[in-house]
A and B are shown apart, each in its own frame.
Chain A
Amino acid sequence: KAGVTQTPRYLIKTRGQQVTLSCSPISGHRSVSWYQQTPGQGLQFLFEYFSETQRNKGNFPGRFSGRQFSNSRSEMNVSTLELGDSALYLCASSGTKGRSYEQYFGPGTRLTVT
């Protein structure tokens, strides 16, 4: 069973640009969540998509947006990049297996804003 994949793995952008990150969940999982991880703030939840609808949203500005496609693949977009957006962006896919909940993280996209 293929794991969660994220592309690109590394990205360097300049302030003011925009960026789109992609996440392909595990086959059969309909939920995709996005997280930002920085040394100072730790792991923070961005948003969750389920069946193409945003189900939950964290406390991030509107520059951070996302969407989910009918095949459950998800994209995250950050517009007007700021230096503080430099972080590891993780996505996780989740679903149920029998009566158990399961969740798997992708390897992350390391974004550097200069």
Chain B
Amino acid sequence: GQNIDQPTEMTATEGAIVQINCTYQTSGFNGLFWYQQHAGEAPTFLSYNVLDGLEEKGRFSSFLSRSKGYSYLLLKELQMKDSASYLCAVNQAGTALIFGKGTTLSVSS
């Protein structure tokens, strides 16, 4: 079967670092996406990992371990505007993109 798990909610303070984990069980893995979505808005693409390792893009980094079925999104120097839902999605080769339920991150001052 296919299953994607990520925490439902997380809280952090401005300036801190937060790591949002995502574990998955799918067949025919073909890459993993991370998205940010603010309430009432369309999602924003953050990263796409196909190979193992860490990819850094400014304050955001994404890590993938295919053998462990595990990824994380790392957000550094948190800002209030980072309060949003973060979605992990797995590209299942030849078929579909499977989404997790999302992690709601609340950043406080």
Contact = CB atoms under 8 A, between A and B. Distances in A.
B96 A58 contact: yes
Interface of A: 33, 42-45, 48, 56-59, 90, 92, 94, 101-108
Contacts of B87: 42-43
A-side interface mostly:
strand
B-side interface mostly:
strand
27 contacts: A33-B97, A42-B87, A42-B99, A42-B101, A42-B102, A43-B43, A43-B87, A43-B99, A45-B89, A45-B98, A56-B94, A56-B95, A56-B97, A57-B95, A58-B95, A58-B96, A90-B43, A92-B43, A101-B48, A103-B33, A103-B45, A103-B48, A104-B45, A105-B42, A105-B44, A106-B42, A107-B42
**Interface magnitude class on chain B:** 10 to 19
Contacts of A94: 45
B45 A92 contact: yes
B99 A105 contact: no
Nearest to B50: A101
A78 to B, nearest CB: 18
Residue from A59, A101, A106, A108 with most neighbouring chain B CB atoms (10 Å): A101
Interface string B73-89: 00000000000000101
A92 B87 CA distance: 15
Closest 5 CB pairs of A and B: A45-B97, A103-B45, A105-B42, A58-B96, A101-B48
Contacts of A48: 97
Interface in B59-109: 87, 89, 94-99, 101-102
